[in-house]
Chain A
Amino acid sequence: MFEIATIALLLTMAGALYRALVGPTLFDRAQAANAAGTVAVLLISVYGFLTGRPEFLDLAIVYGLLNIVGTIAVLKYFRYGDLGDPGEDAGRGEAR
């Protein structure tokens, strides 16, 4: 039962990684990384069920959190040029 879901998720992961590889613009790659992250969360959960180990769901939650932080960091870097060095006047937040 979980084999079908695992195979489908592996195909989806392959598609997302291919898009990351070939994506013309930078934002395609960021989007593919985000999609791959979500698919990874699902893959870990399904694999946890496949092998009967419920601890995998904790991994999936942590991986989901890391994925969103990573995507936002990449986007912030490429939108504002840097991640906002707290050293300089941190209050100034407008887009340079």
Chain B
Amino acid sequence: MHAVIDALSWLLLAAGGLFCVIGALGLLRMPDFYTRLHAASVIETLGAGLLLLGMMLQAGLTLVTVKLVFIALLIFFTSPTATHALARAARLRGLGSIARDEDAPPSKP
């Protein structure tokens, strides 16, 4: 049973690390601020989620798992808020986005 948990948490940790690197790659490669916001949120959702899940498996039912749940809840609530604040501040500050330049008439939602 222990080997199954180890293998599963190893898989989760590797996948979480992979998604973190993919998010960082997107952070670097994306052409525009708003698209980079999307890439950065990949780190906070999938990367953090899988990593924390893998660590929870490793820790079992102890106080450490409770702390990990709190970290997950913290990231769950604060990262969308931060992303929204970032996008709103940039938008109100007049930061243009590449989508605007291509289609001349404002695209209907």
Task: Please name the 10 residue pairs, one residue from A and one from B, whose CB atoms are nearest each other, closest first.
Answer: A8-B17, A15-B24, A57-B67, A12-B24, A68-B78, A27-B90, A79-B89, A12-B20, A75-B89, A5-B13
Q: Which B residues fall within an 8 A CB radius of A? A: 6, 9-10, 13-14, 16-18, 20-21, 23-25, 27-28, 33, 36-37, 40, 43-44, 47-48, 51-52, 54-55, 58-59, 63-64, 67-68, 70-71, 74-75, 78-79, 81-83, 85-86, 88-90, 92-93, 95
In Å, the complex CA distance between A14 and B23 comes to: 12
A75 to chain B: closest residue by CB: B89
Question: Total number of A-B contacts with CB less than 8 angstroms?
Answer: 143
Contact A57 B64 (CB under 8 A): yes
Contact A34 B86 (CB under 8 A): yes
CB-CB contacts of A69-96 with B at 8 A, as 1s and 0s?
Answer: 0011001101100000000000000010
- Residues of B near A35 (CB, < 8 A) are 23-24, 27, 40, 43-44
Expressed in whole angstroms, the minimum distance between the Cβ of B71 and any Cβ of chain A is 6
In Å, the complex CA distance between A20 and B37 comes to: 13
Please name 7 further chain A to chain B contacts, defined as beta carbons within 8 Å, in addition to the given A34-B82, A35-B40, A46-B55, sorted by A numbering.
A12-B21, A15-B25, A30-B86, A34-B79, A35-B43, A45-B52, A79-B92
Contact A32 B27 (CB under 8 A): yes
Contact A11 B64 (CB under 8 A): no
Known contacts A8-B20, A41-B71: A79-B86 contact under CB 8 Å: no
Contact A19 B27 (CB under 8 A): yes
Contact A1 B9 (CB under 8 A): yes
In Å, the complex CA distance between A31 and B75 comes to: 15
Chain A contact-residue range equals 35 or more
- Residues of A near B54 (CB, < 8 A) are 5
Expressed in whole angstroms, the minimum distance between the Cβ of B103 and any Cβ of chain A is 22
In Å, the complex CA distance between A78 and B86 comes to: 10
In Å, the complex CA distance between A65 and B17 comes to: 22
In Å, the complex CA distance between A47 and B40 comes to: 22
